[in-house]
Amino acid sequence: MIDALFEPFTYAYMARAVWICALVGGVCAFLSCFLMLKGWSLIGDALGHSIVPGVAMAYLLGLPYAVGAFFSGLLAAASMLLVKQKTKLREDAVIGLIFTSFFAVGLLLVSINPTAVNIQGIILGNILTISAGDALQVVIISLASLLVLVLKWKDFLAVFFDESHARSIGLPVRGLQVVFFTLLSATTVAALQAVGACLVIALVVTPGATAYLLTDRFGRLICLAVLFGAVTSALGVYASFFFDTNPGGLIVSLQAALFVVALLFAPKHGIYAKRRALRLAAAGGAHG
Amino acid sequence: MPNAAHCALPQRGAHMDSFIAFFTEPLAQAFMQRALLMSLLIAMVCSIFSCFLILKGWSLMGDAVSHAILPGLALAFVAGIPLMVGAFVAGISCAFLTGYVKENSRIKEDAAMGIIFSGMFAVGLVLLSRIETDVHLMHVLFGNVLGVSMEDLLTSGSIAFLCAFIMFIKRRDLMLFCFDPAHARVIGLPVKLLHFGLLILLALTIVSALQSVGIILVIAMLIAPGAIGFLLSRTFDGMLLVAFCASLFSCISGTLLSYHFDVATAPLIVVIQAAIFLLALFAGREKHDQKA
């Protein structure tokens, strides 16, 4: 019985996938706290799709995939800024236009040479079959991002939620913003390997939103989000061994399920708690 | 593709022939006829829709609804109902759930949308990998316009045609609703009905495009034409016309070129649309500079 539970860990690729996913899930969850509160959730989606042509290109040319992905993400961000400056199109239209176009370029590149690129891996993640070199890239990216975030989260908090205060205490606001978005792109690249382009958005939104239903303090929000992100990611990969399914799908399904539980039953901000509070208030009003 | 070499032959007097062959050769094949017809229908409905979505600021709603239909396909297969019905129900429930979460919790709309559609997509992935279905995941994601059967053409085509027709007839009301909902309410338009109507039309449009361009690239079809129209035209009817022409051109040229160069059709259509957008962007900018 116990042996069966530990069976996945007897395979080196499973053990590696579990802890890499936990790491990536944790870092993404850290970032999700900021994205979710700022209303930037869909940037994660846009980045996840925009880096696809870079990854395809990197595989075609035999470069490290992270380089291609990062370059392509940068290009997408620059195009979004350009189009936004030049036109009166709404922001959501600009984001949607650019990321779908980039994604289409990626697919076109793949269709020119379908054997060189594992398209299913890009779209759905390939954490179980990841090569040692790619795994190393993911781990380095995640650890570096985590380190910066742990050291600087209070500064990011000030920069994104109280910019004038951040300026007055002499923080390099512009620089910190650049660092944050660099971290986000780098983390997206890592998340792409874990869950694939379509589900990157979940890793950088859902854990933060789930934690936000459970606490009002930012420090706790981060701790809870990272905990949720890491545990669901590890558990998703682990369970995919038994269910024989795509690990990315399972990770995100778990995260979504956790969100639903929090949405319904959170002690203060959950739907049932709010209903109860309303009922009590109504009863109190009638009584008084 | 043998004819790619044929087209490139620089024979004197053969230019016209090869130019005509560029069109006639693909169209001699029945599957190419169906593919072209299908992409024309999708171009029509998506281009009209994209103009409303651009005005309403719902561009990313298309993203959410299209990803969310995945579990619907799997469940419809299990239940033995038409796949399109399942897809439609799933798409529409994503839109409604997003609204519900936004109204009933402290989660912002964009986060709610992201959580719900990614969650549904993930559940769809798990279901599809667990259930034996005849739904081919890669076809759902990227479409397979060259494999469209006559039956698909009829069902998807009639849905697309119906949506385009409703939107065209109701374009004044819908435009006012998208542009200025407060004003629409004041002059007595049924705003709630228009809101849900537009969501239902969105889900239907996406379902109809499922076969040909797939659920990821349909998002581009639902944004780019409207954005091109927005850049090049000052009136709404003009925007509709420009969007329609741009979409039509990219669909026809994309389908034909993909045949000749042996690349994927739907991505090529989207890339051509993006190229037209770029042209429009710089053309529009010149005009602006001249005035300034």
Residue count of chain B: 292
Which residue on chain B is closest to A264 by alpha carbon? Answer: B105
Q: Quick one: tokens of B129?
A: 């990998």
User: Which of A82, A107, A251 to mutate against chain B (most B CBs within 10 Å)?
Assistant: A107
Which residue on chain A is closest to B268 by alpha carbon? Answer: A108
pLDDT at B292: 35
pLDDT at B134: 76
- Mean pLDDT, chain A, rounded, equals 88
Q: What percent of chain A has pLDDT over 90?
A: 35
B residues 118-137 closer than 8 Å to A (CB):
118-126, 129-130
Whether residue B126 and residue A253 make contact (CB cut-off 8 A), yes or no, is yes
A262 pLDDT above the threshold of 90: yes
From the list A104, A123, A246, which residue is nearest B271 (CB)? A104
B residues 140-199 closer than 8 Å to A (CB):
141-142
Whether residue A256 and residue B123 make contact (CB cut-off 8 A), yes or no, is yes
Which residues make Cβ contacts (< 8 Å) with residue B15, sequence separation at least 6?
A: none
Min Cα–Cα distance to chain A from B185, Å: 23
pLDDT at B271: 94
- How far apart CA A254 and CA A207 sit, in angstroms, is 10
Q: Quick one: tokens of B278?
A: 């770029």
* Collapsed DSSP state (helix, strand, coil) of residue B32: helix
Number of neighbours of residue A89 by Cβ within 10 angstroms? 22
Residue A249 in contact with partner chain B when CB distance is under 8 A: yes
pLDDT at B7: 47
**Global ipTM:** 0.91
Residue A209 in contact with partner chain B when CB distance is under 8 A: yes
pLDDT at B285: 53
* A215 dihedral zone (left: phi>0; alpha: psi -120 to 50; beta): beta
What parts of chain B have a pLDDT lower than 70?
1-16, 284-292
Min Cα–Cα distance to chain A from B266, Å: 8
Q: What is the pLDDT of residues A208-254, one digit of tens each?
A: 999 999 999 999 999 999 999 999 999 999 999 888 888 899 999 99
Q: What percent of chain A has pLDDT over 70?
A: 98
- How far apart CA B99 and CA B103 sit, in angstroms, is 6
Name every chain A residue with its beta carbon within 8 A of the beta carbon of B116.
256
Task: Kindly state the DSSP code that residue A209 receives in the 8-state scheme.
Answer: H
Min Cα–Cα distance to chain B from A90, Å: 7
Whether residue A201 and residue B220 make contact (CB cut-off 8 A), yes or no, is no
CB A269 within 8 A of CB A217: no
Q: What is the pLDDT of residues A7-38, one digit of tens each?
A: 888 888 888 889 899 999 999 999 999 998 88
pLDDT at B11: 53
CB B171 within 8 A of CB B239: no
pLDDT at A177: 87
Q: Quick one: tokens of A98?
A: 């650019």
From the list B60, B105, B111, which residue is nearest A96 (CB)? B60
pLDDT at B287: 47
pTM of the complete model:
0.89
- How far apart CA A234 and CA A118 sit, in angstroms, is 24
B residues 36-65 closer than 8 Å to A (CB):
53-54, 57-60, 62-63
pLDDT at B14: 62
For chains A and B, CB pairs below 8 A equal 200
Task: Kindly state the DSSP code that residue A245 receives in the 8-state scheme.
Answer: S
